[in-house]
Structure 1
Amino acid sequence: MSHPVELRLSGSGGQGLQFSARVLAEALLRDGRTVAQSQSYEPTSRGGVSRSDLVVSDGDIDYPLVTGLDYLVILDEVAAEFPPTLLKPTATLLVDESRVQTRVAGPWTIRSSPFAEIARALGNERAGNIVALGTLLALSSLCSSASVAAALAAETPPKFLDLNSEAFDAGWRLVQPTPAAEAAHARA
């Protein structure tokens, strides 16, 4: 990665966005990346807009806040409105098609998947954030799945570890893996 990569995980409070951002940051750190993470959420515990931004680099990070997103994950309708100027023209958007009705338009690559429905089928809709994380990492090859597995084990309460591991794998399988993504997953 020659330039920093900027990501935003967004949705509503209670969807575990801050948790999935911590897992992602931990996995990136385990792979030797530099990470700056910031978060924002409305003062309501459930239902308000919640987001976590990450800036990732192989070296120093000059500015720790996002200025041009490479990846945007939208898990709920409340987060579907965003300033289009915040996205790079080459950005990839991951949208939960079961919870977001607004159709986002622009020059970006948009991938809609039923993250919440997949998580519900695994036993808990709240694992939709981890399904989306699996998809994001399969598409981006930002870090190895071994680092994600270790980060999940470190951050997840033991009674939810199996569910989160299954959710990550389900999200990973939504993507036709690129050779780089297959290699990263194989290192697990």
Structure 2
Amino acid sequence: MATTEIRFSGSGGQGLLLSARILAAALALQGRNVAQSNAYEPVSRGGLSRSDLVISEGEADFPLARRLDYLLILDLAGLGVSDHLLSPRSVVLADAELVPDPPRGDFRTLALPFAETARSLGNPRVTNIVALGTLCALSELCPPELLLERVLAMTPAKFDRLNRDAFAAGQAMAVHEPA
């Protein structure tokens, strides 16, 4: 049974768990089977935070990632804790500013300006949405329109324009990266 495993990793307060919930909801609307698990240190901001999605054609037999297809790292707190789950098929997406020395190895690593892009849009809190747009475009796990619809449905309406812009910026960032 084919599975896709994704880990969102960084520090508390970056919206990683929200991003994983949004992607899981979009995939579920497509009829995909998704198991999600979260782990975080008991602090509201800072400290390790991560969320795993296991996407399966059939019922997911285990909710924790065992071999990552995609690893998104938005902060140094998430660095190093997932390296043992990387394989030649893995793609690592790391924030170029907050993770200056991302994992390197027999897998693909892309250091991209997620936080810088969010700041240029006027709010660093949409770094997670920028990264989600990039992940969507590179992974082709679900149609971008569906994922954006879930972003808008699961975040406050007053941030709709900002989230649209952040998602579009993330998608555009992926266009410049070879598949």
Do these two structures clear the TM 0.5 threshold for a shared fold by scoring above it? yes
Give runs of aligned pairs for residues 145-164 of structure 1, distance below 5 A. 145-164=144-163
Per the alignment, in what secondary structure is the counterpart of residue 88 of structure 1? Answer: coil
1:92 is the counterpart of 2:122? no
Aligned to 2:80: 81
Q: Distance in 1 between matches of 2:44 and 2:136?
A: 27
Q: Which moved more, 1:134-143 or 1:84-93?
A: 84-93
Per the alignment, in what secondary structure is the counterpart of residue 106 of structure 2? Answer: coil
What's the CA shift string for 1:80-127, capped at 9, x where partnerless? 112422112210000000111224221110011110010011111110
Amino acid at match of 2:157: P
Aligned to 1:128: 127
Q: Distance in 2 between matches of 1:170 and 1:3?
A: 30
Aligned to 2:39: 40
Q: Is the 8 A contact 1:134 1:172 kept in 2?
A: yes
Aligned to 1:174: 173
1:153 Cα shift?
2.2
Q: Is the 8 A contact 2:102 2:111 kept in 1?
A: no
What's the CA shift string for 1:67-89, capped at 9, x where partnerless? 11110000001111124221122
- Matched length: 178
Aligned to 1:62: 61
1:37 Cα shift?
0.3
Q: Is the 8 A contact 1:152 1:164 kept in 2?
A: yes
Distance 1:128 1:83, change over 3 A: closer
Q: Is the 8 A contact 1:32 1:58 kept in 2?
A: no
Q: Which moved more, 1:2-11 or 1:98-107?
A: 98-107
Per the alignment, in what secondary structure is the counterpart of residue 105 of structure 2? Answer: coil
Q: Is the 8 A contact 1:94 1:113 kept in 2?
A: yes
Per the alignment, in what secondary structure is the counterpart of residue 93 of structure 1? Answer: strand
Q: Distance in 2 between matches of 1:177 and 1:58?
A: 30
Q: Is the 8 A contact 2:6 2:65 kept in 1?
A: yes
Q: Distance in 2 between matches of 1:104 and 1:6?
A: 17
Q: Provide the identity percentage.
A: 51
1:168 Cα shift?
0.8
Structure 1, unmatched stretches of 5+, are 182-188
Aligned to 2:22: 23
Aligned to 1:184: none
Q: Distance in 2 between matches of 1:158 and 1:99?
A: 28
Q: Is the 8 A contact 2:130 2:169 kept in 1?
A: yes
Q: Is the 8 A contact 1:139 1:177 kept in 2?
A: no
Q: Distance in 2 between matches of 1:122 and 1:103?
A: 24
Q: Is the 8 A contact 2:94 2:102 kept in 1?
A: no
Distance 1:83 1:173, change over 3 A: closer
Amino acid at match of 1:66: A
Give runs of aligned pairs for residues 98-113 of structure 1, distance below 5 A. 98-113=97-112
Amino acid at match of 1:98: E
